Structure 1
């Protein structure tokens, strides 16, 4: 083998290395993102997803001693796609929307990531999320790379038929760049199983029936049992693993959950079933607190009937902005990114934070919470249950053999527990916290795969 290749491969080991300070260097990609956001009048707090991802990656790269050229190579996306999607509206007028797909890395397998429909979908945001998917799939140790996509639209303003037409046009524009062994989309913000069904059907018109081209689709079209609950169930398993490290279990712990969508509601339900006490929950409509524990089944019924938590009589209504600083054992942010920041971090009273949302904690808050002794289980580990069961769905489609839900849940627990164990091992090897343990684990696996496939320095 080439000497430089062997040297580089040898350096990508889990050998212990002193913890390094966070780098202050700003990448050109990050600068571009920041400048564009500022020009559009969007607050700087909205820049944190890409800022934190870049910062965490750079620290992990230094801890691993990555070659600078390899480091740069791992940051550059494999492909960025931008397409125009013009559709007839129900009133007969034409409307155009811009769609994006960023395929970040495929060193470890087909690229994987959601497609979101949201009016603030931005190519730079999609870049950041695609990169996070690369590290997340590697932490979970599933044979995928990372991707992300979206269309700049407000799905609530579109009829079902308009959403279907938009989805089909988008699929027509990218069908030759996605595929079972190339890039496998999934639902995300503003999309769901029905969206995936439309993508599957449109893709199949060009390539033949291909259920494995998307995950998160309806069970009747090859979706996996247990997929709806997967991210929330993964949060439960990750929390169990973290608490067990400290001689504790779910039972008897007091939980606060920000967000009552798919992830938050399933996490709340499963935590309650495991003996935990959920004492406060919020969503976009309001927040409720009950020190004796909230009746989650009753809250779910109320939320479904009233399209939100507001008005629930099973507790006291509280200010949603105060939820994060409620006294509890475990805080689970399961909604938006950047909600834990330097302005509120000092007021957080939880002993543990489980990041069920994507990037809920800003880097400045990380430092404040570390000094307070708060343990944070990072998003790329804590919320990886969804993509893990997406992998199970993909496997079932390829095999043509459906698993029962018990097997799905059993395998999910195995993967989540192993990911936590591997992260802890990296923490011990590199003398770092859980966030850096997860990032070094993910980055190291992708770097090794890249070098093994023939990357030359």
Structure 2
């Protein structure tokens, strides 16, 4: 006969869960071992923002603890024979934060600083972003630790195809759908789509988004993130009573997000007085000639040495006098060190995680409004969703229809965030996170935990 220790009891039916609402951060905290592998400053920033939002989200402790960590984190090695015949092993990652609302969705980045913790943080933010926009996705993020500028196209293709092969057990049109991110583009996605399709034996365009139109991509996808940033800025200007054409903008980043945002702003009559790329920035208080800047970059490869404006460093660019600062480059750019010197009245986060917790607090104390990343740069994933839907149905929409649908989605999300911020007296960031967390928590409450 089996004897049970004192205090042991058999549970019938579903196990008991802690359904109390979250009241303090300590209730969400896990044992240190749980987050050890992805514990980085950026991940701690994501968790700190999450814990702050939980105070207003009215979700149970059990649900809050589940959503505080990723569902899956994959680390792989990518062996590649370089053009000179030398073998190199590149570390690579894919983190899937939550599949409660549907397949996970998120970018693939190539950068020498990619870490598991960075991917975990970005995947968490992606979950809230998708939920806020009411897209049927959870968040994911992945990347390969490499220096793309030092690699040939042939080497990048080898890295992409091998990375895709390593991820085959974990991705799929109904499991996890990659997209472009830092230093990846539609060609990268075409290689991923082809590798996956060749493994399956038939074309699967819906496995990735951000592809070339020739292999199932969507019109307006390449411009979507940058254009969406400006759509959100327009909404904010309407609420603040500002005239967008009268404003001066500084844009950190002049690539796929910042470059498009700068163009869209200029098209609306605004003055772009400063921009930057990885090599540094340029400034002209009278407004920059964006067409001339693009021509210079095409010829020279970067903004370095541009002769028709004042050259500034990236740190100096952030502190230029302007009305709106658009952060469209890297993470952790607005910090406790430089936030006291920011002269913008409004900050729009076109990049993911460009503001630290301390930077956020200082901007709030100084009355600087921040349009948070989970809302402001959501244009990319929204049009990625449109692309995925078009691929699944093999029925494609026109540019005007997609742009109109994007403006409607972003406008609805912006209005909900702004009103929630007013009602609860919290920042726009907390309001955006609260709205997203509530959507995911409601689904997790309904579904429960299997098995």
1:422 matched to 2:416: yes
Matched, 1:135 2:128: yes
Which residue does the alignment assign to 1:58?
51
* In structure 1, distance between residues paired with 2:174 and 2:164: 17
CA distance in 1, matches of 2:328, 2:246: 21
Show the counterpart of 1:126. 119
**1:17 alignment counterpart:** none
1:107 is paired with a residue of what secondary structure?
coil
Q: Which residue of 2 aligns with 1:262?
A: 256
SS of the residue corresponding to residue 177 of structure 1 reads coil
Which of residues 80, 99, 106 in structure 2 aligns to 1:106?
A: 99
CA distance in 2, matches of 1:313, 1:112: 41
Matched, 1:281 2:285: no
Alpha-carbon shift at residue 316 of structure 1 (Å): 2.2
Q: Does residue 1:32 correspond to 2:30, yes or no?
A: no
- Aligned residue for 1:51, secondary structure, equals helix
- Give the deviation of 1:29 after TM superposition: 6.8
Matched, 1:399 2:393: yes
Residue 271 (structure 1) aligns with: 265
Structure 1: distance between partners of 2:228 and 2:26: 31
Tell me the number of residue pairs that the alignment of Structure 1 and Structure 2 aligns: 437
Higher relative contact order structure (alpha carbons within 8 Å, sequence separation ≥ 6) = 1
The one-character-per-residue Cα deviations of 1:69-91 (angstroms, maximum 9, x if unpaired) are 21111122121212222233333
Residue of structure 2 equivalent to 1:117: 110
CA distance in 2, matches of 1:225, 1:34: 36
Corresponding residue of 1:242? 236
Residue 73 of structure 1 aligns with which residue?
A: 66
Contact 2:125/2:374, CA 8 A, preserved across alignment: yes
Please give the alpha-carbon distance, in whole angstroms, between the structure 2 residues aligned to 1:285 and 1:386. Answer: 25
1:191 corresponds in structure 2 to 184
- Shift of residue 434, structure 1, vs aligned partner: 0.3
Shift of 1:289: 1.5
Q: Give the aligned partner of residue 358 of structure 1.
A: 352
Matched, 1:203 2:207: no
For residues 438 and 448 of structure 1, what CA distance do their matches in structure 2 show? 16
Provide, for residues 99-140 of structure 1, a one-character-per-residue CA deviation record: whole Å limited to 9, x for no partner: 211111011111000111222221111111111111111112
* Paired residues of 2:370 and 2:428 also in contact (CA < 8 A): yes
* Equivalence map 1:311-326=2 (5 Å): 311-326=305-320
Distance (whole Å) between structure 1 residues aligned to residue 299 and residue 126 of structure 2? 34
Q: How much is the aligned-residue C-alpha RMSD, in angstroms?
A: 2.6
String of CA shifts for 1:161-202, please: whole Å, max 9, x gaps. 222222212222221321111100011112111111111111
The CA distance in 2 between the partners of 1:198 and 1:326, in whole Å, is 40
Instruction: Tell me the equivalent position of 1:446.
Output: 440
Of 244-253 and 447-456, the range deviating more from structure 2? 447-456
For residues 7-37 of structure 1, the C-alpha deviation after alignment (integer angstroms, 9 at most, x for no partner) is 969x79xxxxxxx8988997637973697x6
Q: 1:425 to 1:30 in 2, by over 3 A?
A: farther
Query: Aligned pair in 2 of structure 1 residues 395, 161: CA closer, same or farther (>3 Å)?
Result: same
Larger mean Cα displacement after TM superposition, 302-311 or 349-358: 302-311
1:96, distance to aligned residue in structure 2 (A) = 2.0
Partner Cα separation in structure 2 for residue 140 and residue 392 of structure 1: 12
Is residue 2:220 matched to residue 1:226?
yes
Q: Distance in 2 between the 1:219 and 1:232 partners?
A: 19
Counterpart in the other structure of 1:412 = 406
Structure 1, 244-253 or 85-94: larger mean CA deviation: 85-94
Shift of the 128–6 alpha-carbon distance from structure 1 to 2, 3 Å rule, reads: closer
Summarize the Cα distance change of 1:188–1:412 in structure 2 as closer, same or farther, 3 Å threshold: same
Structure 2 unaligned blocks of 5 or more: 1-12
- CA, structure 1 residues 397+341, in 2 after alignment: closer, same or farther (shift >3 Å)? same
TM-score for both structures, normalised by structure 2:
0.91
